[in-house]
Amino acid sequence: MEILSSSDQNVQRAAAALADGLLVAFPTETVYGLGADAFNVHALAKVFEAKNRPHFDPLIIHIAEHDALSRIADTASLDRAAGERLSILSRQLWPGPLTLILPKRPQIPALATSGLATVAVRFPSHPVAQKLIRLSTGAIAAPSANPFGYLSPTRAEHVKAQLGQKVDFILDGGRAAVGVESTVLDISHGQPRLLRPGGTPRETIEALIGPVEFSFAQAVNEAPLSPGQLESHYAPRTPLVLCRRGELASLPAAATEGRLYFSPSTNHSEAAGHGTRVLSQTGNLAEAAANLFDMLHELDSLGLRVIRAEEAPLSGLGVAINDRLRRAAGHTTPAL
């Protein structure tokens, strides 16, 4: 499949293809998505097949106007507190990198939600995504446009290289600006729970609705010691090993090893190496997140024996960066 520019004409063609049950890879501000009409069970089945994604992993439904939410989520069944949280979060943080888990409407096929009574909904901010969704059926189910478990795509070229002929259209909307997936927050019942750290920092959510529980390890050193206990996900083909901040620069350099620094190392000659990348020259978390998958794709293409990556500071977007790095390392031994 060739990559198409996101001209009005191409977006219209892609929207018509979605309505016909075809698959369209499209840009969002987080990563590229592999879209299918959320109401078409045959199209949904093709998404799982193209990605080799297990059926127990539910999809996120993308909308492009607030009014579309009531077709997907049973918002009327929320209790008063949950309804207020939804109202605040959707008004303040949509469009943006936040996915909300809500009670599901029966119109959404069970395949999209893996049989759960809840549904994941997001309103992306990328203008091409919005136009595509509005011109199609208004609800597009889209996981990241990569084979299950592999690095997420932040450029149209990544989608072409990873999924190729399995996609009917690839729309090019430039490089993903946020660079990590959306934050997933369950507000369907009880206390709000953060299920996945992502492009909306926990601090931003808590400033609006108060404390949220979270169910993921935050620090690299909280990771289980046995690699078998780590879920391998977001992973390059090259084995990836995580280091605490500052440890990487003190290791002797080797030509066959790649390095991914969070910010510049004090050891300048080493930091200039061919298999070395720096997520942010100024130690900026947003810039680091935007570069994360891009640089991992680059390092993964160099034929290195191993990639050593250092963790980010543990606040704001650093939590999502570390989550992705830890899971990228899930298939290797976490020890140095």
| Crossing angle of the two packed helices 318-328 and 285-300, in degrees rounded to 10 | 20
Cβ proximity to ligand AMP, 58 vs 95, nearer residue:
58
**Window contacting ligand AMP (CB under 6 A); options: 53-61, 70-78, 162-170, 245-253:** 53-61
Specify whether the CB–CB gap between 261 and 321 falls below 8 A. Answer: no
C-alpha 99/C-alpha 153 separation (Å) is 18
- For residue 119, the minimal CB distance to ligand AMP (Å) is 6
- For residue 116, the minimal CB distance to ligand AMP (Å) is 4
Pick from 143, 173, 201, 316: which binds ligand AMP (CB under 6 A)?
Answer: 143
- For residue 49, the minimal CB distance to Mg ion (Å) is 15
C-alpha 94/C-alpha 63 separation (Å) is 10
Handedness of CA 92, 196, 262, 234 (dihedral sign): negative
DSSP 115-153: T-SEEEEE----HHHHHHHHHTTS-EE--BSS-TTBPPP
**Window contacting ligand AMP (CB under 6 A); options: 86-94, 115-123, 271-279, 311-319:** 115-123
Pick from 120, 129, 241, 309: which binds ligand AMP (CB under 6 A)?
Answer: 120
Pick from 6, 28, 118, 136: which binds ligand AMP (CB under 6 A)?
Answer: 118
Q: Token pair 């994360």 is at which residue?
A: 292
C-alpha 61/C-alpha 38 separation (Å) is 7
C-alpha 242/C-alpha 192 separation (Å) is 30
- For residue 182, the minimal CB distance to ligand AMP (Å) is 7
Residue 99 lies near Mg ion (rule: CB under 5 A): no
C-alpha 282/C-alpha 192 separation (Å) is 34
Cβ proximity to ligand AMP, 241 vs 289, nearer residue:
289
Tally of residues, the chain: 336
Cβ proximity to ligand AMP, 120 vs 278, nearer residue:
120
C-alpha 86/C-alpha 169 separation (Å) is 33
Residues 170-199 that bind ligand AMP (CB under 6 A): 181, 184, 195-196
- For residue 84, the minimal CB distance to Mg ion (Å) is 30
Residues that bind ligand AMP (CB under 6 A): 57-58, 60, 101, 113, 116, 118-120, 143-144, 181, 184, 195-196
